[in-house]
Structure 1
Amino acid sequence: MANIDEIIRELDRETEAVSELLAKEGGLPDLVAAAFKGSMRRWVWATSVVAIIATVLMGWTGYEFFVAQSVDDRVFWGFCFTFSATAQIALKQWQWMEMNRASLMREVKRLEIAVATLAKRSD
């Protein structure tokens, strides 16, 4: 029984270490910051700038849609608004996927380190 008790205590210590590691990891702001520091940081910056431009364009075309006098103008500005909104959505979606990829890569590296540590411990 003492052997099982020792194993349980060891697992409790490992659980506490994992809990401390998870507590150190921040929330959404840290994930966003990691995306801007990762290997695709230039693309993240570029898409952020283009997304801001798309947002401004979306606001402007939305305003023009509501103040347009003719149906032809409303169709034109409505199309422009829809296009800029779609562009913004696509860019933001790509940024979220990049944040997810960076977070997933970080977790995979942690698992690799944990497996290597366990392999050394078993040898």
Structure 2
Amino acid sequence: MNIDQRIKAELEQESAEIDRILGEDKGITSMMANSMKGNLGRWFLIANLFVLIFTGAMITVGYQFFTADETGEQVFWGILLVLSLQMQIGLKQWLWQEMSRSSLLREIKRMELALARMSEGKST
């Protein structure tokens, strides 16, 4: 077997392994589940709980804003609506970053394992 055939076989094998790895990813639900298993899993659950609380608050405050009769009341409820929206945005941003971090760490570990396997294969 010449070097070109060997390189081609290695690339095909790596391509098949990458296809298998990409096929394992189930989507956003698996990313969320994996984030809950990590070191910050409790914080992830707490942040999700607060997202639900602020969603309820945002709906309630939005209803109060649109049904208020006086301008002063509308300003009050409007400010609370904006604050609850900002809290939601901040918490969801953190959740997405945590999911991304968890996914990235998993991919780095996969690469470390692949490199370890390659170095073992060359040493034998």
TM-score calculated relative to the size of structure 2:
0.93
1:13 aligns with 2:25: no
The whole-number CA distance in structure 1 between the counterparts of 2:50 and 2:27 is 25
Q: Deviations over 1:7-64 (max 9, x none)?
A: 2122212211221121122111111111122111100110111111100000011000
Aligned to 1:96: 96
Aligned to 2:107: 107
Aligned to 1:44: 44
Query: Could you tell me the percent identity over the aligned residues?
Result: 36
The whole-number CA distance in structure 2 between the counterparts of 1:14 and 1:113 is 13
Q: Write out the 4+ residue segments of structure 1 that deviate beyond 4 Å after TM superposition.
A: none
Q: Which amino acid aligns with 2:44?
A: V
The whole-number CA distance in structure 2 between the counterparts of 1:10 and 1:2 is 13
Aligned to 2:30: 30
Q: Deviations over 1:61-116 (max 9, x none)?
A: 10001111111100000000000011011111110000000000000101111111
The whole-number CA distance in structure 2 between the counterparts of 1:50 and 1:7 is 52
Q: Kindly tell me the number of residue pairs found equivalent between the two proteins.
A: 123
Q: Which amino acid aligns with 1:122?
A: K
Q: Which amino acid aligns with 1:84?
A: S
The whole-number CA distance in structure 1 between the counterparts of 2:102 and 2:81 is 32
Q: Which amino acid aligns with 2:40?
A: M
